[in-house]
Chains A and B, each alone.
Chain A
């Protein structure tokens, strides 16, 4: 035990060196951060934040050369509680999509059934609960044939889990056919809805250009959005909370708020505060939707009022062109999220595929709307379950307090260890410093996020990391009492303390893993530093102090040691 092979010695010191090297950027946090931003901007041309975008080339170069390129440059990410920003947890109403899907199937089913009018009779869509399609056939005797046709519309589900299942199921009772999505298709649809929502949220957040937003799916139907540096959660909600579903509907006529709409019609209110109380009855199926937009920009209309221009893609432009040329002189409504922005009269066919929406916008609103239209509509609505805003000053205060507490804790423990174990305490102290550096190195390496509880985890590690060394030193003391030679006592001390060290650390590690798996946000941050702290502290206690003690012993060859 008292001799270590050269290979072992080199690997230990190499590991330590790599750990410290990886940690080094964190000691020059701002410099490295500026360096990373500048390099990213120079290389990709995309500015990571507003401050960088405004810099001159000289400033960028100066920042880029502020940190040598050969050094590692990954930093520990600071959590929202340390940096300030907004946090939202949203639930996507995935069921919203089912009704849209049913509208799609209705067209297909209608076409399929029309061909056999002789056996089935006439068909009519009935009102149905969300996610169901009900069709009444006038000749119930043809039910079997009708069901056969409807089932012919079904296609296999495209997903990993839904192999062999079809997307819709149809059942008949009396003269009513009920069509709904199968469970497998619902799952696949939910998954698609979530993917789309994530993508659209990401695009919208990226449009505002903040640094390193976190947009993650959580569980079945939730999305976690964290944006550092944004002023408030409300601001973030304004951006991502609107569905921004733009549709163009034929107008049936004006209506009152309590009127019952005609079959397959809807009544939507006007969004314009000047027209408050105005309602329109519209056809439910839109002529064309925002999904077919190619671009949208804020602009001003001929009266100098803020407006939003839009341009359709070719298929959208064609549909819009055909509709407008067939309906010159009649009004159509521009609808955003079930509210009518305006309902102008078509003066002439619009074949170019572009147009302008004027409403009663402020400049800010028109800019926002253009962003939303460009990024696309969310497939479903979102409810916000949790929101947190932390101001940057509070974050900075927390960092400062954490830093001071860390340093004081460190000094106290170092002094205490030296007083208790003398030279050996000094070795433990050096190992402790290496330990903390290695925690930071690992945190940077895996790109973990440091939160306030994470800092507490590090402080706790500082206290607990010495435990392994205390176990060893106490054991060496005991072995010395039975008057074995110093070398033998050190050897036995390490050997006999090992099982206690491992058992103790494994049990703590188990709790850290459970915390990580079950926890979220701050708890997770704490679990990460605690878990990593256990790994590094076992390494430093078992290997690093030992190699130092061996090197010291080889040089001094003391006859007697005092621990």
Chain B
């Protein structure tokens, strides 16, 4: 007896409500974009400059007391958040203190950290010194980092557009990229809506989402291309439906295994990478959805050439077909 996530031989119609799905996607993109524009991302120091200090103590965190103690130091904007994690033992209380970039200095002065240390020592003698981590990024670097990150994401999307265009047709490339942009915008939207810290690692997650979503889209498209040759007379809509149904079992299997691994990391991997893992989990879910409801829907909308009999590069289905693997 096998575990089956998807019944065999499904023939669901994925496009009967194509307009509704596209509508939902467009709506979510608008919401995400609006949130991104209005509220903005909660940039970490990587992108905004400043200092974060991680504190650890055996006595519970008292945010108000910490704040009061740091007030006289006049360090500008300070945010203090307590960190909760199921992997922490009973007597471990962690907080993150974030200090804005100091006027006129690129990175934090040792004296500033010392001031914070002295102030907190007075509040909580049980606190562990030196701090478990102190990270400081100057405004100069953070400006460059955000620029590089944006370039990386755009570059990845362009490179992928080009590759798909080479291997398939331009309609496929547009469909795939629309799905990618959809995923990236929705991820940014979630980060801005929930105000989760957005740092350099999240960019890595974003690009992985790009990779994953693409992986999914390409598998569906590969089947579409195959079926376009097989069913020369069928409607494009039917061909797309058949292809999605045929690959549905695989789509779910892969998403579930990936999600299993990611959830293990989310729950047990510690608080340091939780935001990163969250981005990926969200990305896998959105990416799976988008390869069916966005990429394929766009393909249907754009139409695709139906005469695949002309001998061209893609004629045998893949130019790797004759690789003796």
List chain A positions with a Cβ less than 8 A from chain B. Answer: 81, 89, 91, 231-234, 237, 383-391, 393-394, 397-398, 401-402, 404-406, 408-410, 412-413, 416-417, 419-422, 452-453, 455-456, 459-460, 462-464, 466-467, 470-471, 474, 477-478, 494-496, 498-500, 502-508, 510-512, 514-515, 518-523, 526-527, 530, 542-543, 562
A385-B106, A419-B2, A507-B218 in contact; A495/B321 too (CB < 8 A)? yes
Q: When the two chains form their complex, are residues A456 and B276 in contact, meaning their CB atoms are under 8 A apart?
A: yes
Look across to chain A and name the residue whose beta carbon is closest to the beta carbon of B280: A460
In the docked arrangement, what's the CA distance between A413 and B131, Å?
37
Q: Is the C-beta of B323 less than 8 angstroms from some C-beta in chain A?
A: yes
Across the interface, which residues of B come within 8 angstroms of A421, CB to CB?
2
Across the interface, which residues of B come within 8 angstroms of A386, CB to CB?
107, 136-138, 141
Q: Shortest Cβ distance from A259 into chain B, in angstroms?
A: 27
In the docked arrangement, what's the CA distance between A467 and B247, Å?
12
| Segment of B17-25, B29-37, B267-275 engaged in the interface with chain A | B267-275
In the docked arrangement, what's the CA distance between A518 and B320, Å?
30
A231-B130, A234-B110 in contact; A522/B268 too (CB < 8 A)? no
Look across to chain B and name the residue whose beta carbon is closest to the beta carbon of A510: B159
B254-301 at interface with A (beta carbon < 8 Å):
254, 256-262, 264-265, 267-270, 272-273, 276-277, 280
In the docked arrangement, what's the CA distance between A548 and B140, Å?
54
**A-B CB contact pairs (8 Å), 7 listed:** A386-B141, A389-B135, A402-B270, A456-B276, A503-B222, A503-B318, A519-B204
Prevailing SS type, chain A contact patch: helix
In the docked arrangement, what's the CA distance between A232 and B129, Å?
11
In the docked arrangement, what's the CA distance between A494 and B318, Å?
13
Q: When the two chains form their complex, are residues B163 and A510 in contact, meaning their CB atoms are under 8 A apart?
A: yes
Look across to chain A and name the residue whose beta carbon is closest to the beta carbon of B226: A496
A460-B258, A463-B258 in contact; A507/B163 too (CB < 8 A)? yes
In the docked arrangement, what's the CA distance between A522 and B106, Å?
21
Q: Shortest Cβ distance from B7 into chain A, in angstroms?
A: 13
Contact of B320 among A420, A502, A521, A526 (CB under 8 A): A502
Q: When the two chains form their complex, are residues A464 and B132 in contact, meaning their CB atoms are under 8 A apart?
A: no
Look across to chain B and name the residue whose beta carbon is closest to the beta carbon of A404: B268
In the docked arrangement, what's the CA distance between A349 and B2, Å?
96
Q: Shortest Cβ distance from A215 into chain B, in angstroms?
A: 18
Q: Shortest Cβ distance from B49 into chain A, in angstroms?
A: 9
In the docked arrangement, what's the CA distance between A518 and B265, Å?
26
Task: Bits for B153-174, please: 1 = Cβ < 8 Å to A, else 0.
Answer: 0011001100110010000000
What are the nearest 10 A-B pairs in CB distance?
A: A499-B318, A463-B258, A463-B261, A401-B270, A508-B211, A234-B110, A409-B261, A409-B264, A518-B152, A419-B3
Q: When the two chains form their complex, are residues A542 and B325 in contact, meaning their CB atoms are under 8 A apart?
A: yes
Look across to chain B and name the residue whose beta carbon is closest to the beta carbon of A511: B211
A510-B160, A515-B207 in contact; A405/B265 too (CB < 8 A)? yes
Q: When the two chains form their complex, are residues A391 and B260 in contact, meaning their CB atoms are under 8 A apart?
A: no
Q: When the two chains form their complex, are residues B134 and A502 in contact, meaning their CB atoms are under 8 A apart?
A: no
Q: When the two chains form their complex, are residues A417 and B204 in contact, meaning their CB atoms are under 8 A apart?
A: no
Q: When the two chains form their complex, are residues B164 and A507 in contact, meaning their CB atoms are under 8 A apart?
A: yes
Look across to chain B and name the residue whose beta carbon is closest to the beta carbon of A235: B110
Task: Bits for B1-27, please: 1 = Cβ < 8 Å to A, else 0.
Answer: 011110000000000000000000000
Across the interface, which residues of A come within 8 angstroms of B130, CB to CB?
231-232, 389, 391
Q: Shortest Cβ distance from B158 into chain A, in angstroms?
A: 10
Across the interface, which residues of B come within 8 angstroms of A562, CB to CB?
2
Across the interface, which residues of A come within 8 angstroms of B214, CB to CB?
504, 507-508, 511
A234-B113, A237-B110, A389-B135 in contact; A420/B323 too (CB < 8 A)? no
Across the interface, which residues of B come within 8 angstroms of A463, CB to CB?
254, 257-262
Q: Is the C-beta of B317 less than 8 angstroms from some C-beta in chain A?
A: yes
Across the interface, which residues of B come within 8 angstroms of A494, CB to CB?
325
Q: When the two chains form their complex, are residues B203 and A391 in contact, meaning their CB atoms are under 8 A apart?
A: no
Across the interface, which residues of B come within 8 angstroms of A504, CB to CB?
214-216, 218-219, 222
Q: Shortest Cβ distance from B249 into chain A, in angstroms?
A: 5
B35-62 at interface with A (beta carbon < 8 Å):
54
In the docked arrangement, what's the CA distance between A500 and B321, Å?
11
Across the interface, which residues of B come within 8 angstroms of A523, CB to CB?
200-201, 203-204
Q: When the two chains form their complex, are residues A503 and B152 in contact, meaning their CB atoms are under 8 A apart?
A: no
Q: Is the C-beta of B253 less than 8 angstroms from some C-beta in chain A?
A: yes
In the docked arrangement, what's the CA distance between A518 and B204, Å?
10
Q: Shortest Cβ distance from B125 into chain A, in angstroms?
A: 19
Across the interface, which residues of A come within 8 angstroms of B160, CB to CB?
507, 510-511
